Amino acid sequence: MAGTATQYEPLLILCGGLSRRMGTPKALLPFRGHTLIHKLVSQTHPQRPIWLAAAGQSYADTGRAHYLHDALPERQGPLAAILPALQETYCQGRAGIYVLACDTLLQPEAIIKLLAQGAGRPAWQQGITLLADADSGRIHPLMSHWSAAVRQDLQAYLAQGGRKVSAWLDTQTCQTITMPQTWQAVSNFNTPVDFEHALAAAQALPEAT
């Protein structure tokens, strides 16, 4: 959980995408005088391990964060980035990891606190906990908690050629946690227009961003 010092599970930040629709790496987008990747790293609790899945890239101002290599070459999707983190967390004797894409203006610890409402349920121990929109119920697989127990199933899925996150989730025990409706506008973005809208919405959410 997010609780005591011995329970700070790692945060994996996905920041290796090509960002084709954005036209520039999302991790380097500016927000309040800093890049998004710097913001996410600096806002994470100092006792929480931070792992970056950057597909071979390296970013400035990432401080204590540790880079992990994808399980597959040539950017074959988020699942290939998540598997090494699950394997590493299992080797360290930890129960799971938090997963967060870099295209968000929300504070990592706010997301983690909300996800931790699902702790203690079967899906927390054996599956995946995801945030979902309040109005539509749309899930956010990359704002989530993954149990280390799913690592072998995920490895087998990738070995069989599976890459789609939605298809993978259909095979797993999952639970959703509804996020505040006001978070939706700043939760993620794919285009410059989306990003401008998120920046405007963030002005009304200083406590969450």
Within-domain flag for 4: no
Is residue 6 one of the residues assigned to a domain?
Answer: no
* pLDDT of amino acid 17: 85
Say how many domains are in the chain.
Answer: 1
Q: Average pLDDT per run of 10 along the chain, which is 209 residues long?
A: 62 92 93 96 97 93 94 93 97 96 97 96 96 94 97 97 96 97 95 96 93
Residues 105 and 198 sit within 8 Å (Cβ to Cβ)? yes
Q: Tell me, yes or no, whether 5 lies in a domain.
A: no
- Is there a domain that residue 63 lies in? yes
31-62 confidence digits (pLDDT tens): 999 999 999 999 999 999 999 999 988 999 89
Residue 57 lies in a domain: yes
Domain contains 209: no
DSSP code at position 180 = P
**Residue 16 counted as domain residue:** yes
Task: Provide the residue range defining the domain that includes 54.
Answer: 11-203
Coil, helix or strand at residue 93: coil
Within a domain: residue 1? Answer: no
- CATH number of the domain to which 69 belongs: 3.90.550.10
How high is the pLDDT of residue 3? Answer: 42
Bridge pairing between strands 139-147 and 96-101? antiparallel
* Residue 71 CB neighbour total at 10 angstroms: 20
Q: Does the predicted TM-score (pTM) go above 0.85?
A: yes
